[in-house]
Structure 1
């Protein structure tokens, strides 16, 4: 074999090796997979009228499941209390919708409506709905904590009052967790708006799933004062997306109504923040605060 022939073969082999390596290294990296893929926010609005009770259900698109909830009262400015923020589902089936029911606390002549918000995602491994109910009695305050089964984490929250029909107000819808730890339970606390002489209870709902990468709970608190209303927004950080939310009123002991519990987002965009808004139901001289909670996962 001539020296020139050998050199040509060596050159061809080197070129093939270089092109092969180049072919491997120039392939673009695939997009990172979201911890909770397909997140969107769905809204459904009730009729607008002056009737005493209003109810509406927001349902996830076909093939998606419910991870979190929200609501908004329009037109009543503290004269309406949300009695139910009730996700469907069970301890063995994933939730897919949420029903919001609201009553006038006192007779109110104006027109108003209620919006139900459903935070929905592609199916999540292990997603279920669990619940816990308080004692049923005449006490002014009731509380219940719904805890996820061991090994699961909390994605969203809900509540339901029974027996009080517009005379009770949910003061706390409080997920546990922190900015560095995943929530796994929610506590619901409710007060009588006015003296109520019948027995009633409150139920807490928790949406729970198998562990989710980066899941944490973040929070923001309003100013402490005696103003009639306040609003606070909590946003996910570091590019995270929101699976669910909560709120907490401190210092008002049933004298304040959380009128708005509104996740951001749309039917085509993932929620990344929540705004909570509250009004005094009757004139209240004390100082109080409003805290909003967001449950956030890695995008």
Structure 2
């Protein structure tokens, strides 16, 4: 059938319908892109304020949400307490939904203190799992281990756990890879003995991993370098991105510095966009040192 025959057969009314349909196809707005991390929020839980040698707390995501990353804060100890456990739950086949934080006094502390756990939670994310890797069980002064995401997945959060060192170990590095232009896929954890400890112990690195998230990158910020007793730095996500998790590094400290605060901002109704790391010298330390903070950031 020729074009002319088609026009005669359908008439003017048919032509209007055809043209209107074409215009709808051209002018109709595209559906808005889905957020990379819908329902993002930060919640917290706090232990009792006591002078007990060990304190712990669990921050649990609301029902229906999953854990992408986490943080912690020691309140009232000023470098005299070390975080021994910073452990997301979940497994290599199940998504994490909470984080456990346990901390010991390094030396006896008469003053009361408490531990606070932060959970960065969101609506379910595809492929979310928790990977755990533990190093050799030995009496070495320094332990290190890397947890890598399965092939095809990216890193959204981090964690660690020391076993059997009981307050005599300090995690110096919780360092995700990646750059401001590439997604992180692994976390490198390093811990030192705070005081001589002659028994064997282990260090576990935890990686929270998911299918690729749009725009996921790692950005960092470093404090000034000095021999001050306290140092801090804040890593802020680029405009248009939100925080899923992060990490830290005490540089040139070699176990003489305790990361007291690793705290994402945000709240129950607000997604986090930055994380601050604060660290104290555990005992007087004359050398210069600094603290670096890592933020894992995805598109809003």
- TM (norm. structure 1) is 0.92
How many residues are matched?
290
The 2-side partners of 1:62 and 1:171 are apart by 33
Query: Deviation digits for residues 10-61 of structure 1, max 9, x if unmatched?
Result: 7x99998898788777766654321111111110010101111100000011
- Mapped pair 1:136 → 2:137: yes
Residue matched to 1:58: 59
Query: Deviation digits for residues 44-102 of structure 1, max 9, x if unmatched?
Result: 01010111110000001111111101000001110110000001000110000000000
- The correspondence of residues 202-281 of structure 1 with structure 2, limited to 5 A, is 202-281=203-282
Indicate how the Cα distance of structure 1 residues 18 and 267 shifts in structure 2: closer, same or farther if over 3 A, else same.
same
Residue matched to 1:96: 97
- TM (norm. structure 2) is 0.92
C-alpha RMSD of the superposition: 1.8
The 2-side partners of 1:211 and 1:233 are apart by 25
The 2-side partners of 1:187 and 1:240 are apart by 24
Cα drift, residue 138 of structure 1 = 1.1
The 2-side partners of 1:111 and 1:29 are apart by 57
The 2-side partners of 1:175 and 1:158 are apart by 10
Cα drift, residue 121 of structure 1 = 0.9
The 2-side partners of 1:205 and 1:180 are apart by 23
The 1-side partners of 2:171 and 2:52 are apart by 21
Cα drift, residue 213 of structure 1 = 1.1
Residue matched to 1:5: none
- Mapped pair 1:150 → 2:178: no
Residue matched to 2:199: 198
The 2-side partners of 1:86 and 1:202 are apart by 12
- The correspondence of residues 160-175 of structure 1 with structure 2, limited to 5 A, is 160-175=161-176
- The correspondence of residues 24-39 of structure 1 with structure 2, limited to 5 A, is 30-39=31-40
The 1-side partners of 2:204 and 2:29 are apart by 50
Unaligned runs of at least 5 residues, structure 1 = 1-8
The 1-side partners of 2:286 and 2:127 are apart by 47
The 2-side partners of 1:58 and 1:19 are apart by 55
Unaligned runs of at least 5 residues, structure 2 = 1-10
Query: Deviation digits for residues 200-233 of structure 1, max 9, x if unmatched?
Result: 1110000011111111100001111100001100
